Amino acid sequence: MRPIVQTTECGLFSAVDPRTGTAIGTYREASAEDVRRAAAAASEASGSVALADRSRRAALLEVVAGALRERCEEIVSCADAETALGEARLQGELERTAVQLQKFSEIVEAGDYLEALIDLPDPEAKPTPRPDLRRMLVPIGPVAVFGASNFPLAFSVAGGDTASALAAGCPVIVKGHPSHPGTSKLVAETLRGAVSDCGLPDGSFALLQSSSAVVGEDLVERPEVAAVAFTGSLRAGRALFERASRRSCPIPVYAEMGSVNPFVVSRGALATRGEQIAEGLISSVTGSAGQLCTKPGLVFIPAGASGQAFADALGRSLGDGAPQWLLSEQIRDGLTACTAMLQALTEPIGEASSPNAPEDVSFCAQPQLFLTSAARLRERPEIAQECFGPVAVLAIYEHLEELCATLPRLGGQLTATVHSEPCEADAIRPLVSVLARIAGRLVFDGYPTGVSVTHAMQHGGPYPASTAAAYTSVGMAAIERFLRPLAWQNAPARLLPPELHDENPVRIAQRIDPPGRVRRWAA
């Protein structure tokens, strides 16, 4: 078996074109010394006045967004050669990446994310007098970001993790994903140019490229690194989490590790709009060749003739679709193993197929559906593992009570979806309660793929969906991962940050207790 990337003897590696299996480009493997230097520079940048300046960081994010758009054609063309995701999808992803940077720029400038609190002193307070206490969030320090293979732009070098960490005021060291080093290099050049143009220290950003796991492991061990953001497999995310927890000074790992995203169709919804749901599912399961962490991988359908008809139609439609390019040989091999497991434990619907054989030079797979039942799932929980690619499992259930007993066994999920009819609300409510306990986001009468970047987005969930259920990796709250609170007690105004001054000179939201005692700026 070939490695996912080709490594030469002299410390170089290449990307592989998924459509042809040929090597493209040559990139230098980062050394242990590169890791050490990047961490030292990040630590120095961490204490700099320039990086502490919110306006300057806001400008940086805005400049990066503009520069990415300017180089859109070049970046998308390189990313398409390295990932086979297609130009339309990659153009959309670049625009999303730029919008994300701009939105973080806006919230940094606004400053409300600092959660400034001012507790005024009260010498009469019981049981003890109360001091003047002011609190706001401060950056935690250098952040290691691991690029994801399936989002070469939006979850890679200048993606959401980098944008939110820089927004928070933390220097970033990206470990680029080895399946798209050319894209990483172009984006990093753009970012480094913006860092320099905005007068920020060099150490504010670095890219480390490597085809081996050692560079990432070294990075997580660096004492200067204060947090890790990761998007990828459960195996890799868990390994980083354990490594970071074993450090002499443990650090948080925000690993988003995917899930099967249970998708429930009620009897009413199946009867009223089964065909429409099937169409929606096909595009949600096959979009980006099913290589999305919110792909609905496990679809629950009520037992009976119409459920069976739905399964048959969905299986045929998927099976009739064209084969799809996969990101890499590694993902193709993972999908091969996963579909072999499903073939053994469930019934394939339509003609059984498997991703192309190991000897094939290109990496692709035929969309496919497997059939099982809720009862069988309870016996063989491995059926509910994430299968990364254009594949879904359809599970027949007898009644909603059975679902309520089955779903908690799935473990933590990024999303859970319910399609139902208004008249079923009372019957559906217990199911929604069960799903609320395992998922980070509940989707109603829609599809979990297509994660919008807004304030209320939650992309994360109980383990194993993520290692930190209290956080999100998409949406404006993603910045919270890189902040910690700091309190100032009885500080003279001249030693307080302006965000905590009574006069509120920088006009951010301040929460005052008791209210009304100092002037408060209102939006």
For the segment 436-475, give every residue that binds its own copies (CB under 8 A): 436-437, 439-446, 450, 452, 454-458, 460, 462-464, 467-470, 472
Give residues 117-156 in contact with its own copies (rule: CB under 8 A). Answer: 117-119, 125-128, 130-131, 133-135, 138, 140-141
- Is 3 near its own copies (CB under 8 A)? no
Q: Which of 433, 503, 505, 521 binds its own copies (CB under 8 A)?
A: 433
Stretch that binds its own copies, among 228-236, 310-318, 334-342, 432-440 (CB under 8 A): 432-440
- Is 283 near its own copies (CB under 8 A)? no
Give residues 31-60 in contact with its own copies (rule: CB under 8 A). Answer: 47
Q: Cα angle vertex 36, ends 32, 39, to 5°? A: 135
- Is 378 near its own copies (CB under 8 A)? no
Catalytic residue among 256, 329, 386, 499: 256
DSSP 293-348: TT---EEEEESSHHHHHHHHHHHHHHHHSPPEE-S-HHHHHHHHHHHHHHHHHSEE
Among positive and negative, which fits the CA dihedral 108, 112, 113, 119? Answer: positive
Interatomic CA distance for residues 246 and 241, integer angstroms = 9
- Quote the least distance from Cβ 110 to its own copies, whole Å: 12
Closest C-alpha among 48, 164, 50 to residue 108: 164
Catalytic residue among 198, 293, 338, 387: 293
293 part of the active site: yes
Residue nearer to its own copies on the CB measure, 340 or 423: 423
Q: Cα 243 to chain center, whole Å?
A: 20
Stretch that binds its own copies, among 209-217, 277-285, 328-336, 423-431 (CB under 8 A): 423-431
For residue 160, which phi and psi values (nearest 5 degrees)?
Answer: -60, -35
Give residues 79-108 in contact with its own copies (rule: CB under 8 A). Answer: 92, 95-96, 99
Interatomic CA distance for residues 468 and 412, integer angstroms = 11
Residue nearer to its own copies on the CB measure, 15 or 500: 500
Pairing status of strand 510-513 against strand 413-419: unpaired
- Is 488 near its own copies (CB under 8 A)? yes
- Is 490 near its own copies (CB under 8 A)? yes
Establish whether the linkage from the previous residue to 3 is cis, with ω within 30° of 0.
Answer: no
> For the chain, how are helix, strand and coil distributed in percent, rounded to 5?
45, 20, 35
Q: Which of 28, 409, 429, 517 binds its own copies (CB under 8 A)?
A: 429
Give residues 392-421 in contact with its own copies (rule: CB under 8 A). Answer: 411-412
H/E element, 229:
strand 227-231
Indicate which residues carry an active-site annotation: 256, 293
